[in-house]
Amino acid sequence: MFKKISTLSLLLLLPSIALAGDELPTIASNADAIGLVQDHANYMWTLIAAALVFFMQAGFAMVESGFTRAKSAVNIMMKNLMDFSMGSLFFWAIGFGVMFGAAPTGWFGTDGFFLSGWTPGGDPWVLAFWMFQCVFAATAATIVSGAMAERTKFTGYLIYSAVLCAFIYPVFGSWAWGSLLNGGGWLEGMGFIDFAGSTVVHSIGGWAALAGAIVLGPRLGKYGKKGEVRAIPGHNIPMAAIGVFILWLGWFGFNPGSTTTADKSIAIIFVNTNLSAAAGAVAAMFTSWLIFKKPDIGMSLNGALAGLVGITAGCANVSPSSSIVIGLLSGILVVISVMAIDRAHIDDPVGAVSVHGVCGAWGTIAAGLFNMEGVTIKIMTTQFIGVGAAFVWSFGCAFILFKLISMTIGLRVTEEEEIMGVDISEHGAHAYNDFVVTR
Amino acid sequence: MFKKISTLSLLLLLPSIALAGDELPTIASNADAIGLVQDHANYMWTLIAAALVFFMQAGFAMVESGFTRAKSAVNIMMKNLMDFSMGSLFFWAIGFGVMFGAAPTGWFGTDGFFLSGWTPGGDPWVLAFWMFQCVFAATAATIVSGAMAERTKFTGYLIYSAVLCAFIYPVFGSWAWGSLLNGGGWLEGMGFIDFAGSTVVHSIGGWAALAGAIVLGPRLGKYGKKGEVRAIPGHNIPMAAIGVFILWLGWFGFNPGSTTTADKSIAIIFVNTNLSAAAGAVAAMFTSWLIFKKPDIGMSLNGALAGLVGITAGCANVSPSSSIVIGLLSGILVVISVMAIDRAHIDDPVGAVSVHGVCGAWGTIAAGLFNMEGVTIKIMTTQFIGVGAAFVWSFGCAFILFKLISMTIGLRVTEEEEIMGVDISEHGAHAYNDFVVTR
Amino acid sequence: MFKKISTLSLLLLLPSIALAGDELPTIASNADAIGLVQDHANYMWTLIAAALVFFMQAGFAMVESGFTRAKSAVNIMMKNLMDFSMGSLFFWAIGFGVMFGAAPTGWFGTDGFFLSGWTPGGDPWVLAFWMFQCVFAATAATIVSGAMAERTKFTGYLIYSAVLCAFIYPVFGSWAWGSLLNGGGWLEGMGFIDFAGSTVVHSIGGWAALAGAIVLGPRLGKYGKKGEVRAIPGHNIPMAAIGVFILWLGWFGFNPGSTTTADKSIAIIFVNTNLSAAAGAVAAMFTSWLIFKKPDIGMSLNGALAGLVGITAGCANVSPSSSIVIGLLSGILVVISVMAIDRAHIDDPVGAVSVHGVCGAWGTIAAGLFNMEGVTIKIMTTQFIGVGAAFVWSFGCAFILFKLISMTIGLRVTEEEEIMGVDISEHGAHAYNDFVVTR
């Protein structure tokens, strides 16, 4: 028996990788093998980070649904599921090539569609890199969902989501992060600092969300006849809170994963990400406490997200102390912005424009201001140009797109459908069948 | 003070690993050290993947509970907790030895029980490998839970769960993945392709679920006196949706983790897993839209799972484009299968048989059909033999087991207990004490 | 076209790390490079583990909220968000220096505040290490939250949380884990075994929770006029269950991450952690079945947590079989302890004192008893001293602190506020706006 047992460990030998082959190792073969092990670490890191960023989809779904009404929860889950599912397919077919393909015109890539940059036997790094970029594209798409909640036609939303993943996001992405063969995207060439996408991902999503909210108009009953603002409280605050925790977790993939390399630089990115989020939550809580006389849960949760968005551009080039300052200002800014947008009678049920658009812009400016290696007028000019370009491009494209959808197949459900809820009108389903639901 | 501070970093020195010891490094010692660092990466990867697969238990619990009634939610949480808890203990005591121990008869292992393959000072890889295999075994067990929801005696379920983790799953596992010392399991020896377990895990679970649903019979009121099918909608769709996101995340451990090695091959597995899931969700949505005139949330969610199950066998040997085809067909298949099983008056409240059994079989066939290195009649024959053997073994064993339980301690609760709900009858608890719950 | 496509992979070259620079590699440069790759693995491992531990905050929020009433859910989310957010800031400003700074008096550190141990260009390991320690500190703080649920003033809680992260936890931490420059903390110097913090984190949190529950007194209506104990069931059992799954997942970062090194020792820590949790759940279920005649969900869930807390001290120095014994006893112990504390009319709504305080103490003793390298009277004496010191320090400090808060700004809400719920009184919000909520 004992002998038998001892064989077990033979069965389970750790899979060995031929690092040096059968021949005796040499200095050169060792050096190659070291490079290969580091490559393996880079694959592992990039893909684990991609998995964490994927999970942010669940976080977005929970935040958006928790902050809106029970009668829209099925629709929100469908939108998020399809954001990511259709987004993955469109980013595979088109978006990745637009963002990272060779760009003869200098404005967007024109090859690498359908993952044709990889063929069997080819370099698997293309696949790992695609995976990480794919979850980023889907994040940009899903940001919009919240601002358009409770009143959007599902078909209209599907079209929008596909266009964002295939075109709006990747084109801007190519300016800031892609198309290296042509001397780099034009923003990249200017030295634009946006390490993990305060602008590239969050502002692009946030400004498209703004366009969507404007074209759609507010939910019925949100603003009274005399212009007064009426609160429409969310139906499940604990769900929204868990969603924020999931997003925070996912950001530990989003920011440090943007190295796509397992090296020591991930440490400061982790710390900065965490401190800015913490500072954002604390600042938003105290700001809301001052204004509303009570510490507000919705503002505090959005404050954490604001801090995360705010540090995304500068997470790799500012100090931990600066990241706290960035987070604090993000947390204050998000409260002010949410109130201002509401007063402008733009109905953004979850605060997506403030969190992602406004704090994304602020974070991009802050990445210049707090640059550890010093700030120059040139740096700041470039940061402002990037922020401005993102607004013009994303708001512009999305506004035209939503107008087109609105004029053709229609963007908004009917008044009747909105009153009964998009869950029933668009999907024929209730979210909470066994519960007594009001409103 | 400054001097004091500078000492802090001394305190926090990165733990150093004696890669080369005190002596001067040599080419040979460097080669050994490189192998050791790669080993460390393999441990890290396998165990992080195991953690992600573990988390699928939460996903299963949420999907199952979300798709059923509020009066069964406590019971479902208990079943999932115990699936994993008792499953871990039984896989430790028995299952692991059956699956990976030396197999003198060629049919199942007969040593390595109680983790006796490892003793203090022994090779820790046995432990890492056990951990990864343990979370797989528990996944197979938990699949069954959904098909038997809302009407099963808790004691009967516990017995079933233990037998699956200790015997049904590991025996089949030894055929396909284990018992190398005896020339490999018989399916493995034939060249059976099932990289991460479309058949080994999902079909085994799915066919056992079918047996359970048949032996139990449908829930009260599910089928009318004239044979009409009545929908019993789930009580918490957002919970089910988040469960699907968690499962999708977990699959990024399930499939690429099955390398148990940190190498470059994990990239294509990630991409294939993601594309198939995305395609499955999209295909199921459009299929349901065609049939029901509205895009259905339940079908779309199951479509994502179908795509995940479908790519599990072939994730390492098909191309990304093929994985999209596999996912699309999985998504269509799951809708048809759910409807067909319902028409056959087999009450599977969550669609577990269709998702895991049917799409597991399809995925295993697809892994042959879309094999990047080409397909032969021999390959396809082997794939069909594997699929067939899984059905005969799992459905057969489970059917006998459930009949035995049914005839002895009883498998189904009484009519009264079912009407009041298994939460109260089996656990003396309500899931939602502060809410007004109907039904 | 084909040529263009082939350029794509050039664009996406894996970021290369200068492992050997431009010069030809030598044996010495290879040895250095191997050390560097291992360092990268250590960073990756420590930071991924930190992310998992961070996610435990979501688990704690769900467990605590699920086990209490709907009218307190907003407050619980706020407390957990602020535990972590304010905790991060206070641990950055003060706690980390107290725990790991140079300790001239031998009792606590006096430098390294505001992360001053790291300056731009300095060793990034300080940052990675800080990140991992920060999530630990916040865990200790959040444990207390549950025991004080449904009746605590939010401002009082904030103060407490800050003091724990800045002072109570780090001082004890410096005794057991920190302040190496002065010959190690005094407990560490005695050979105290507490690998991942059964005592350092969980008992410190648990005993502070006990002090909080005592100073606050029980919730209104919890104990009748004749002293009878009344159950106040939780409002969302599935949420509590998912919280436990999340905590279990997080513990796969908490325990094996405490190596802060990617090496083979993480395998046994994973296995022990999992087996003890499983055994704890099973033991608590059967214990509750014996006592209450039904398998109780609350006890079973707490049993899993008890097993996790119980193995935290000894996860690296006991065998897998021992970890099952430790888990089984933890599971039995937690049921008995919960009942005993309730009979003592100490109202701990979620069982935090039993899970973290009592099972933390048991786990620390067990780490000595089941030590794979043998147990001596000296070892056991040290373990008991550590357990005792933790109780005296944490209960003592927290008791004084809560009394001080109680006598100044007030610790408990008014009777009216408690009846309407702390969500409304403290935050002006309901958790579930669209649902009909009773109680």
CA dihedral B389, B394, B396, B400 (to 10 degrees): 160
- Residue A4's pLDDT is 35
| B5 has a pLDDT exceeding 50 | no
Q: Please say whether the beta carbons of A319 and A367 come within 8 A.
A: no
Chain segment C389-418, per-residue pLDDT in tens: 999 999 999 999 999 999 999 999 999 999
Calculate mean pLDDT across residues A181-202: 87
Q: Side chain identity at A115, as an amino acid letter?
A: L
| A380 has a pLDDT exceeding 70 | yes
- Residue C106's pLDDT is 78
**Which one of C92, C131, C236, C266 would you mutate to disrupt binding with B, by most B Cβ within 10 Å of its Cβ?**
C266
For A25-90, the DSSP string reads P-HHHHHHHHHHHHHHHHHHHHHHHHHHHHHHHHHHHHHHHHTS-GGGHHHHHHHHHHHHHHHHHH
Chain segment C110-131, per-residue pLDDT in tens: 889 999 989 998 999 999 999 9
Inter-chain residue contact B180 with A11, CB threshold 8 Å: yes
Distance from CA of C22 to the nearest CA of A (A): 12
Inter-chain residue contact C116 with B5, CB threshold 8 Å: yes
Q: Side chain identity at B121, as an amino acid letter?
A: G
Chain segment A266-301, per-residue pLDDT in tens: 999 999 999 999 999 999 999 999 999 999 999 999
Calculate mean pLDDT across residues C45-56: 98
- Residue A22's pLDDT is 62
Comparing alpha-carbon positions, the chain A residue that sits nearest to B277 is A85
Distance from CA of B127 to the nearest CA of C (A): 6
Token couple for B322: 């093929």
Q: How confident is the model at residue C14 (pLDDT cuts 50, 70, 90)?
A: low
| B179 has a pLDDT exceeding 80 | no
Interatomic CA distance for residues B193 and A236, integer angstroms: 45
Distance from CA of B338 to the nearest CA of A (A): 18
Interatomic CA distance for residues A196 and A206, integer angstroms: 15
Q: Side chain identity at B196, as an amino acid letter?
A: A
Quick one: chain B helix, strand, coil %, rounded to 5?
Answer: 70, 0, 30
Calculate mean pLDDT across residues A361-372: 98
Helices (H) and strands (E) in chain C, counts: 19, 0
Inter-chain residue contact A17 with B38, CB threshold 8 Å: yes
Q: How confident is the model at residue C21 (pLDDT cuts 50, 70, 90)?
A: low
- Residue B14's pLDDT is 53
Beta-carbon count within 10 A of C424 CB:
16
CA dihedral C334, C339, C344, C349 (to 10 degrees): 80
Calculate mean pLDDT across residues C12-25: 60
Q: How confident is the model at residue B17 (pLDDT cuts 50, 70, 90)?
A: low
Calculate mean pLDDT across residues C133-153: 95
Calculate mean pLDDT across residues C323-335: 98
Comparing alpha-carbon positions, the chain A residue that sits nearest to C19 is A35
Inter-chain residue contact C41 with A41, CB threshold 8 Å: yes
- Residue A5's pLDDT is 35
> What is the DSSP code (8-state) at residue A115?
G
Inter-chain residue contact A233 with C61, CB threshold 8 Å: no
Beta strands in A118-250 (DSSP E): none
Distance from CA of A416 to the nearest CA of C (A): 19
Chain segment B72-108, per-residue pLDDT in tens: 999 999 999 999 999 999 999 999 999 998 888 878 8
SS3 (DSSP) at C227: coil
CA R_g for chain B: 23
Calculate mean pLDDT across residues B61-65: 98
Q: Please say whether the beta carbons of B439 and B423 come within 8 A.
A: no
Calculate mean pLDDT across residues A229-255: 97
Strand partners, A435: B437
Q: Using CB atoms, list chains with 3+ pairs below 8 Å to chain C.
A: A, B
SS3 (DSSP) at B435: strand
Token couple for A73: 């929860």
Total beta-carbon pairs less than 8 A apart between chain A and chain C = 252
Chain segment C221-257, per-residue pLDDT in tens: 999 988 899 999 999 999 999 999 999 999 999 999 9
Options 3.40.50.720, 1.10.3720.10, 1.10.3430.10, 3.50.50.60; CATH for B29-427 is 1.10.3430.10
Could you tell me how far CA B325 lies from the centroid of its own chain?
22
- Residue B11's pLDDT is 47
What residues of A are in contact with residue C74 (Cβ under 8 Å)? 237-238, 297
Q: Is C121 left (phi over 0), alpha (psi -120 to 50) or beta?
A: left
Beta-carbon count within 10 A of B47 CB:
26
User: Whole-prediction pTM value?
Assistant: 0.96
In this prediction, what percent of chain A has a pLDDT beyond 90? 88
Nearest residue, CB atoms, C436 vs list B81, B433, B436: B436
Distances in whole angstroms, Cα of residue C213 to Cα of each of B95, B361, C146, C398: 44, 55, 9, 11
CA dihedral C121, C122, C128, C131 (to 10 degrees): -90
Strand partners, A412: A152
User: Which residues make Cβ contacts (< 8 Å) with residue A231, sequence separation at least 6?
Assistant: none
- Residue C227's pLDDT is 86
Strand partners, C437: B435
Chain segment B356-395, per-residue pLDDT in tens: 999 999 999 999 999 999 999 999 999 999 999 999 999 9
Calculate mean pLDDT across residues B126-154: 96
Chain segment A299-342, per-residue pLDDT in tens: 999 999 999 999 999 999 999 999 999 999 999 999 999 999 99
Inter-chain residue contact A439 with C434, CB threshold 8 Å: yes
* Average pLDDT across chain A, whole number: 93
- Residue A185's pLDDT is 85
| A203 has a pLDDT exceeding 80 | yes
Q: Please say whether the beta carbons of A38 and C18 come within 8 A.
A: no
Calculate mean pLDDT across residues A29-46: 97
What is the per-residue burial (b if ≥16 Cβ within 10 Å, else e) of A339-362? Answer: eebbeeebbbbbbbbbbbbbbbbb
Q: Please say whether the beta carbons of A199 and A384 come within 8 A.
A: no
Inter-chain residue contact A267 with C427, CB threshold 8 Å: no
Inter-chain residue contact C82 with A263, CB threshold 8 Å: no
Q: How confident is the model at residue A19 (pLDDT cuts 50, 70, 90)?
A: low
What residues of A are in contact with residue C39 (Cβ under 8 Å)? 264
Calculate mean pLDDT across residues C137-147: 94
Interatomic CA distance for residues A201 and A113, integer angstroms: 21
Distance from CA of B358 to the nearest CA of C (A): 28
What residues of C are in contact with residue B81 (Cβ under 8 Å)? 241, 244, 281, 300-301, 304
Nearest residue, CB atoms, A278 vs list C25, C84, C433: C84
Inter-chain residue contact B34 with A37, CB threshold 8 Å: yes
Interatomic CA distance for residues C340 and C327, integer angstroms: 20
Interatomic CA distance for residues C322 and C316, integer angstroms: 11
Token couple for B403: 């009949």
Q: Side chain identity at C439, as an amino acid letter?
A: R
Beta-carbon count within 10 A of B221 CB:
10
- Residue C105's pLDDT is 80
Only one residue has tokens 């809301």, namely A288
Chain segment B205-219, per-residue pLDDT in tens: 999 999 999 999 999
Distance from CA of A18 to the nearest CA of B (A): 9
Strand partners, C412: C152
- Residue A426's pLDDT is 96
- Residue A213's pLDDT is 98
* Average pLDDT across chain B, whole number: 93
From B69, B430, B55, B431, select the one nearest B236 (Cα to Cα): B69
> What is the DSSP code (8-state) at residue C201?
I
Chain segment B218-267, per-residue pLDDT in tens: 999 999 988 899 999 999 999 999 999 999 999 999 999 999 999 999 99
Interatomic CA distance for residues C58 and B54, integer angstroms: 17
Inter-chain residue contact C85 with A298, CB threshold 8 Å: no
In this prediction, what percent of chain B has a pLDDT beyond 90? 87
Q: What angle do CA A145, A146, A149 make, to 5 degrees?
A: 85
Inter-chain residue contact A245 with C58, CB threshold 8 Å: yes
Calculate mean pLDDT across residues A92-109: 90
Token couple for B57: 């238990």
Token couple for B320: 């990304």
Beta-carbon count within 10 A of B220 CB:
13
- Residue B15's pLDDT is 53
For B362-398, the DSSP string reads HHHHHHHHT-TT---HHHHHHHHHHHHHHIIIIIHHH
Inter-chain residue contact B249 with A85, CB threshold 8 Å: no
> What is the DSSP code (8-state) at residue C223?
B
SS3 (DSSP) at C93: helix
Calculate mean pLDDT across residues C348-364: 98
Q: Please say whether the beta carbons of B362 and B311 come within 8 A.
A: no
- Residue A183's pLDDT is 54
In this prediction, what percent of chain C has a pLDDT beyond 90? 88
Nearest residue, CB atoms, C37 vs list A41, A52, A126: A41
Calculate mean pLDDT across residues B141-156: 95
Distances in whole angstroms, Cα of residue A138 to Cα of each of A8, A74, A246, B354, C193: 45, 19, 16, 28, 46
- Residue C94's pLDDT is 97
Interatomic CA distance for residues C376 and A208, integer angstroms: 67
Q: Please say whether the beta carbons of C118 and C378 come within 8 A.
A: no
Interatomic CA distance for residues C411 and C221, integer angstroms: 19
Q: Side chain identity at A328, as an amino acid letter?
A: L
Nearest residue, CB atoms, B117 vs list A5, A15, A51: A5
CA dihedral C17, C18, C22, C24 (to 10 degrees): -100
Interatomic CA distance for residues B11 and B18, integer angstroms: 19
User: Which residues make Cβ contacts (< 8 Å) with residue A60, sequence separation at least 6?
Assistant: A80, A139, A142, A143, A145, A146, A243, A247
Calculate mean pLDDT across residues A24-42: 96
Comparing alpha-carbon positions, the chain A residue that sits nearest to B118 is A9
- Residue B183's pLDDT is 54
**Which one of C174, C271, C275, C373 would you mutate to disrupt binding with B, by most B Cβ within 10 Å of its Cβ?**
C271
Chain segment B278-316, per-residue pLDDT in tens: 999 999 999 999 999 999 999 999 999 999 999 999 999
What are the φ/ψ torsions at residue B435 (nearest 5 degrees)? -105, 150
